[in-house]
Chain A
Amino acid sequence: MSEHIVSWKVYLVIFVLLMVGTGTTVWAAFQNFGPFNIVIALGIATIKATLVVLYFMHARYSPRRTQLVIVCSVFWLAIMLALTLADYQTRQPRESRLSPSVVSYHA
Chain B
Amino acid sequence: MPDTHYLNATYGYGIRTWLLTTDHKRIALLYLCSVTVFFFIGGVLATMIRIHLLTPGGALVTPETYNKLFTMHGVAMIFFFLIPSIPAVLGNFLIPLMIGAKDLAFPKINLLSWYIYIIGGCFVLYSFGTGGLDTGWTFYTPLSSVYSNSAVTPAVVGIFINGFSSILTGLNFIVTIHTMRAPGMTWFRLPLFAWAHYATSLVMILGTPVIAITLLLAGLERMFHLGFFNPALGGDPILFQHLFWFYSHPAVYIMVLPAMGVVSEIIPTFARKPIFGYSFIAGSSIAIAVIGFLVWAHHMFVTGESTYAALTFSFLSYLVAIPSAVKVFNWTATLYKGSISWDPPMVYALGFIGLFVIGGLTGLFLACLGLDIHIHDTYFVVAHFHYIMVGGAVMGYVGGLHFWWPKITGRLYPDSLSRFAAVILFVGFNLTFFPQFILGYLGMPRRYHTYPPEFQVLNVLSTAGASILALGYLLPMVYLAWSMRYGKVAGPNPWPATGLEWKTDSPPPTENFHVTPEVTWEPYDYNSRPDLGLAAGKPLAPAHGDD
Instruction: Answer yes or no: A79 CB below 8 A from chain B CBs.
Output: yes
Instruction: Answer yes or no: B374 CB below 8 A from chain A CBs.
Output: no
Q: Identify the stretch in B216-224, B304-312, B328-336 within 8 Å (CB) of chain A at 4 or more residues.
A: B304-312
Whether the pair A83, B206 counts as a contact (CB closer than 8 A) is no
Shortest distance in angstroms between B318's beta carbon and chain A's nearest beta carbon? 16
Instruction: Answer yes or no: A27 CB below 8 A from chain B CBs.
Output: no
Complex CA distance for A91 and B239, rounded to whole angstroms: 13
Neighbouring B residues of A89 by C-beta, 8 Å: 306
- Scan B288-327; emit 1 where CB is below 8 A from any A CB, else 0: 0000011011000000111111001100000000000000
Complex CA distance for A25 and B293, rounded to whole angstroms: 34
Query: Which residues of chain A in 67-103 are interfacial with respect to chain B, using CB atoms and an 8 Å cutoff?
Result: 72-73, 76, 79-80, 83-84, 86-92, 95
Neighbouring B residues of A76 by C-beta, 8 Å: 206, 293
Q: A80-B210, A91-B306 are in contact. Are A86 and B312 (CB under 8 A)?
A: yes
A73, A87, A92, A95: the one within 8 Å of B297 (CB)? A87
Whether the pair B210, A86 counts as a contact (CB closer than 8 A) is no
Question: What are 21 residue pairs bridging A and B, where the CB atoms are less than 8 Å apart in the complex?
Answer: A76-B206, A79-B293, A80-B210, A80-B246, A83-B297, A83-B309, A83-B312, A83-B313, A84-B243, A84-B246, A86-B309, A87-B297, A87-B306, A87-B309, A88-B306, A89-B306, A90-B306, A90-B307, A91-B304, A91-B305, A92-B307
Q: A80-B246, A86-B312, A90-B309 are in contact. Are A95 and B206 (CB under 8 A)?
A: no
Complex CA distance for A84 and B297, rounded to whole angstroms: 9
Q: A72-B206, A73-B206, A87-B242 are in contact. Are A65 and B178 (CB under 8 A)?
A: yes
Complex CA distance for A83 and B293, rounded to whole angstroms: 10
Chain B residues in the interface with A (C-beta under 8 A): 178, 206, 210, 239, 242-243, 246, 293-294, 296-297, 304-309, 312-313
| CB-based closest 4 A-B pairs | A87-B309, A90-B306, A90-B308, A91-B306
Neighbouring B residues of A88 by C-beta, 8 Å: 306
Q: Give the total of A residues in contact with B, Cβ under 8 Å.
A: 16
Complex CA distance for A84 and B312, rounded to whole angstroms: 12
Shortest distance in angstroms between B32's beta carbon and chain A's nearest beta carbon? 31
Output the nearest chain A residue to B295 by Cβ-Cβ distance: A83
Neighbouring A residues of B312 by C-beta, 8 Å: 83, 86
Complex CA distance for A74 and B117, rounded to whole angstroms: 28
Output the nearest chain B residue to A77 by Cβ-Cβ distance: B206
Neighbouring A residues of B297 by C-beta, 8 Å: 83, 87
Shortest distance in angstroms between B462's beta carbon and chain A's nearest beta carbon? 36
Complex CA distance for A95 and B305, rounded to whole angstroms: 9
Neighbouring A residues of B243 by C-beta, 8 Å: 84
Complex CA distance for A72 and B206, rounded to whole angstroms: 9
Shortest distance in angstroms between A24's beta carbon and chain B's nearest beta carbon? 30
Complex CA distance for A76 and B294, rounded to whole angstroms: 10
Neighbouring B residues of A92 by C-beta, 8 Å: 304, 306-307
Output the nearest chain B residue to A76 by Cβ-Cβ distance: B206
A65, A72, A79, A95: the one within 8 Å of B306 (CB)? A95
Output the nearest chain A residue to B250 by Cβ-Cβ distance: A76
Output the nearest chain B residue to A92 by Cβ-Cβ distance: B306
Neighbouring A residues of B239 by C-beta, 8 Å: 84
Neighbouring A residues of B313 by C-beta, 8 Å: 83
Complex CA distance for A62 and B368, rounded to whole angstroms: 45
Output the nearest chain B residue to A80 by Cβ-Cβ distance: B246
Complex CA distance for A90 and B309, rounded to whole angstroms: 7
A65, A72, A79, A95: the one within 8 Å of B294 (CB)? A79
Shortest distance in angstroms between B166's beta carbon and chain A's nearest beta carbon? 16
Shortest distance in angstroms between B496's beta carbon and chain A's nearest beta carbon? 35
Output the nearest chain B residue to A88 by Cβ-Cβ distance: B306
Neighbouring B residues of A79 by C-beta, 8 Å: 293-294
Neighbouring B residues of A95 by C-beta, 8 Å: 304, 306
Output the nearest chain B residue to A91 by Cβ-Cβ distance: B306
Starting from the known contacts A79-B294, A83-B312, A87-B242, 12 additional A-B residue pairs (CB-CB under 8 Å) come to A79-B293, A83-B296, A83-B313, A84-B239, A86-B306, A86-B309, A89-B306, A90-B308, A91-B305, A92-B306, A92-B307, A95-B304
Shortest distance in angstroms between A75's beta carbon and chain B's nearest beta carbon? 9
Complex CA distance for A4 and B294, rounded to whole angstroms: 38
- Scan A45-79; emit 1 where CB is below 8 A from any B CB, else 0: 00000000000000000000100000011001001
Complex CA distance for A89 and B304, rounded to whole angstroms: 13
Complex CA distance for A88 and B293, rounded to whole angstroms: 18
Complex CA distance for A62 and B224, rounded to whole angstroms: 44
Complex CA distance for A68 and B242, rounded to whole angstroms: 26
Complex CA distance for A90 and B297, rounded to whole angstroms: 14
Neighbouring A residues of B294 by C-beta, 8 Å: 79, 83
Complex CA distance for A91 and B309, rounded to whole angstroms: 8
Shortest distance in angstroms between A14's beta carbon and chain B's nearest beta carbon? 28
Complex CA distance for A91 and B308, rounded to whole angstroms: 8
Among A72, A83, A89, A90, the one with the most B-chain Cβ atoms within 10 Å of its Cβ is A83
Shortest distance in angstroms between A62's beta carbon and chain B's nearest beta carbon? 13
Complex CA distance for A88 and B297, rounded to whole angstroms: 12
Shortest distance in angstroms between B306's beta carbon and chain A's nearest beta carbon? 4
Complex CA distance for A31 and B76, rounded to whole angstroms: 54
Complex CA distance for A83 and B305, rounded to whole angstroms: 12
Shortest distance in angstroms between A99's beta carbon and chain B's nearest beta carbon? 13
Neighbouring A residues of B296 by C-beta, 8 Å: 83
Q: A73-B206, A79-B294 are in contact. Are A87 and B305 (CB under 8 A)?
A: yes
Shortest distance in angstroms between B300's beta carbon and chain A's nearest beta carbon? 8
Output the nearest chain A residue to B308 by Cβ-Cβ distance: A90
Neighbouring B residues of A91 by C-beta, 8 Å: 304-306
Complex CA distance for A84 and B178, rounded to whole angstroms: 32
Output the nearest chain B residue to A87 by Cβ-Cβ distance: B309
Shortest distance in angstroms between A47's beta carbon and chain B's nearest beta carbon? 25
Output the nearest chain A residue to B179 by Cβ-Cβ distance: A65
Complex CA distance for A84 and B247, rounded to whole angstroms: 13
